[in-house]
Amino acid sequence: MNVVYPQKKSSYLGTFLHEPSVWYVHSLFKNGVNLSNGTDLLFIGTDKNGELPFAVHLSQFQLQNLIPKLRLNQAFTFQQNEWFSEDQTIRISLDFAIDFCSTGTVQPFFSSKRFTELMGKATLLTAFNGFECPLPDTKGLTGYNQTFIHAFKQLQTNEEKEIESGLRYFIGRGKGETPSGDDLLVGLLSVDTAYPILSTKVRRMLMKLIMNENLTTDISNAYLKVALSHQFSTSINGLLKELTKNKTTTSEMGHFLTALSKTGHTSGLDTLTGMILGLFIKEKQVSEEEK
């Protein structure tokens, strides 16, 4: 029997990981596997893209030995703190996995100087996001089409019809397992967790749409679902925490920006797009408060 002992797991798993439960191999990638119980998604793989909110992380060596033994729709039962395959040839045990926290938190203050630093470093990322545009800069949404700009403005209102229209523009928009519009929304929600910037109606409407309609991929749906519960990758949470540091503190902003920008084909850049747009809203709020 092949036994795998992952190194760490998100503490958020406790909200949906129950015993006994049956899981199936939903999708396979170079850096991991997604299991599904029909409602929730679980990622088992490396932390190449940071520690993820619905993930169990193992080493590259462990992964290389595990992936060839898996197949799509393969059944696993979770019981006694481990998954075991239907034919009893594979066990994935959480006995030695250390918990990490993926919960985003409300930040105590917003540093305009740190935000200026962030924007300066972001302009060095010349790759385009999934909307075929550079990251937003201090000049605004240069290069973005008017429909995009209008939809983003709709998300800043308090009107349910406007919010719904804006969300429908972004949900599922783009290619891949996590379309660009969804990644943008995850980034925007991360800022809304740190510095509440949106109407609470945005989260309620988004939950209603993804739970009642089939608007995007299963994987993207999982990211949106956990984002609505204030759960994000450690790269996202780390970058937001950088904005609260004073100028004398050593900055890891460049590290987190680079880590995010290299996530997926454009996923990280799409997430950064949403984060920067959210921070624009926060900066505007701060400026108005100081007048």
Whole-number pLDDT of residue 98: 96
Query: How far is it, in rounded angstroms, from Cα 255 to Cα 184?
Result: 20
Whole-number pLDDT of residue 108: 84
pLDDT tens over the chain, length 291 residues: 789 999 999 999 999 999 999 999 999 998 999 999 999 999 999 998 889 999 999 999 999 999 999 999 999 999 999 999 999 999 999 999 999 999 999 988 888 888 999 999 998 998 999 999 999 987 778 889 999 999 999 999 999 999 999 999 999 999 999 999 999 999 999 999 999 999 999 999 999 999 999 999 999 999 999 999 999 999 999 999 988 876 655 678 888 999 999 999 999 999 999 999 999 999 988 887 766
Whole-number pLDDT of residue 139: 75
Whole-number pLDDT of residue 216: 97
Whole-number pLDDT of residue 206: 98
Strand order in the sheet with 55-57: 2-4, 90-93, 82-85, 75-79, 21-29, 32-36, 41-45, 55-57, 8-10, 98-100
Taking alpha carbons only, the member of 210, 201, 197 closest to residue 163 is 201
C-alpha distances out from residue 62 to 12, 66, 99, 120, 288, Å: 23, 6, 18, 39, 52
Contact 93, 43 (CB under 8 A): no
**CA-only gyration radius of the chain, Å:** 20
Whole-number pLDDT of residue 81: 95
Contact 194, 106 (CB under 8 A): yes
Is 0.75 surpassed by the pTM of this model? yes
